[in-house]
Chains A and B, each alone.
Chain A
């Protein structure tokens, strides 16, 4: 049973960089695709992007100039960086695992972490 745990600051100032980490326990990080999905308060799901160890990363076109998803194999962690944040980036951010890309079969999710962008 894989366990995913997101961590990072709950409050980020406008124009700064949002940095989150997803710690993966119980699975080999290089066997799966790793996704970040966010949900603004009271809203639906928004795909942020995904990566595969040793493979390509794919990002939401509306975020691609500001987002980076990467894997740290030594720490068994997946990270998300989003630069130049605004209030519109306030959301619960979920780390999630899938067997393959294409936004399909995302079968394990972290509990999510709320990030608020405010001065």
Chain B
């Protein structure tokens, strides 16, 4: 059971948009920066969003992040077949001695 809760799967047709939620608590999502990663099959994760809303250079603006309270959200617009992947959120949890935490991952299917 992951500390951060993500829906196991989402799906949409090409060209449409989807949102993926990442729900945590006051000790993690609410009080720390959230990052989002895309993992294609058999590859390492790739950073999409950091500091809740920032995109690294080279990441298209079809990908955007937001955060409100204990929930962070990744939005993807103009879906493309190449977006089919597993998406993870990650942040820091400051309970006890502190630790990094990830969501369980959300499988995006582009129909």
Binding site for B on A (CB under 8 A): 35, 37, 44-47, 49-50, 58-61, 64, 94, 96, 101-107, 109-112
Contact = CB atoms under 8 A, between A and B. Distances in A.
B32 A104 contact: yes
B111 interface: no
9 contacts: A37-B100, A45-B102, A45-B105, A46-B102, A47-B102, A50-B100, A103-B102, A105-B56, A107-B47
B35 A44 contact: no
Contact of B91 (A37, A49, A104): A104
Nearest to B32: A102
Interface in B28-75: 32-35, 37, 43-47, 50-51, 56
Given A64-B97, A104-B32, A104-B50, 10 more contacts: A35-B100, A44-B88, A44-B102, A50-B100, A96-B44, A101-B92, A103-B35, A104-B34, A105-B35, A109-B44
A65 B96 CA distance: 15
A60 B99 contact: yes
Contacts, number: 79
B50 to A, nearest CB: 4
A61 B45 CA distance: 23
Contacts of A96: 44
Interface string B80-111: 00000000101110001111111111000000
A40 to B, nearest CB: 12
Q: Rank and list the top 3 A-B pairs by shortest CB-CB distance, nearest first.
A: A103-B100, A47-B100, A105-B50
B47 A105 contact: yes
A60 B51 CA distance: 21
Contacts of A105: 33, 35, 47, 50-51, 56
A109 B104 CA distance: 19
